Amino acid sequence: MVTLKDYQGGETAWCPGCGNFGILTAVKKALVELEISPHEVLMVSGIGQAGKLPHYMKCNLFNGLHGRTLPVATAAKLANHRLHVFAVGGDGDGYGEGGNHLIHTIRRNIGVKYLVHNNQIYGLTKGQASPTSDLGFVTKSTPRGVVSTPLNPIALALALGASFVARSFSGDVPHLVQMIKEAVNHRGFALIDILQPCVIFNHLNTFSWYRERVYKLGEGDYDATDGLAAFKKAQEWGERIPIGVFYKEERPALEELFPAIEDVPLVKQKIESRQFEKLIEEFM
């Protein structure tokens, strides 16, 4: 039996009250409820406060460059498609530096689950505006307020044809646990945009601000297979903010389309050194 203790990591370095704590708790609970053992999990992260999450867990971990989580996660999933591969990052890491990688990961529909801690600020580098900062938001890098239209990650993912798009709130751990479990059970790429208040540098989008606005999509007659309805819901922001699964569609994942790894994961296949030599000669 898998327990929370199995995933217990070291001491955290996050600020007291940080929204990341709720995400860390939810990730562990979801994996335990799914009875997934630590050795079956790989967390890939980049730079940022969000990228530290895997360091506070007991599981396989690859910590790389800023904005480069998804290429590594894609390679890992293709090398061992039986591994549960998660990419973890913030809104700057995923929607700024890593925005181009997000586009093509969605297009490929690789079976990676992407958890984006969206606090609408750059936390690690001390409070600069991020791609999701609201118009007029005053930060160290925008002393007169943000003038660029904020990125809408939900609408972007839907427009690109993502097969699973969801949003949750780190102040509602049970809801986030459910979203992670649904993402893990989904066939293909899954994006979960997680509203994660930064208690130090973002005094606008706070826990109380979100609690007054968020509502769950699953509490009505919403159809998560309706792409047009999902795109319409993605436009809601301000007085009412929907959380839940916006859209999901069953279609083959990238790792299912390669017959060579259908029966045996690449990492377990025997590869002769002469094969590499032949390839090197061919491309040199």
What CA–CA distance (Å, rounded) separates 118 from 197?
Answer: 8
pLDDT for residue 62 is more than 90: yes
What CA–CA distance (Å, rounded) separates 81 from 199?
Answer: 37
Q: Where are the domains of the chain?
A: 4-257
Q: What is the average pLDDT score of the chain?
A: 93
pLDDT at residue 280 in the model: 83
Superfamily assignment of 4-257 in CATH? Thiamin diphosphate (ThDP)-binding fold, Pyr/PP domains (3.40.50.970)
* In the block, residue with structure tokens 């890992």: 76
pLDDT for residue 262 is more than 90: no
pLDDT at residue 270 in the model: 84
Determine phi and psi for 238, rounding to 5 degrees: 130, -105
**Paired strand residues for 8:** 57
Q: With bands split at pLDDT 50, 70 and 90, how would you rate the model's confidence at 55?
A: very high
pLDDT for residue 276 is more than 80: no
Provide the residue type at 125 as one letter: T
pLDDT digits (tens, 9 = 90+) for 68-79: 999 999 999 999
pLDDT at residue 10 in the model: 86
pLDDT for residue 219 is more than 80: no
Q: With bands split at pLDDT 50, 70 and 90, how would you rate the model's confidence at 221?
A: confident
What CA–CA distance (Å, rounded) separates 187 from 279?
Answer: 33
The pTM score is 0.94
**Paired strand residues for 165:** 191, 247
pLDDT digits (tens, 9 = 90+) for 117-137: 999 988 888 888 889 988 988
- Per-residue burial over 166-180, b if 16 or more Cβ lie within 10 Å, else e, is bbbbbbbbebbbbbb
pLDDT at residue 223 in the model: 94
- Per-residue burial over 202-217, b if 16 or more Cβ lie within 10 Å, else e, is beebebeebeebbeeb
Q: How many CB atoms lie within 10 A of CB 240?
A: 10
pLDDT for residue 220 is more than 80: no
pLDDT at residue 110 in the model: 97
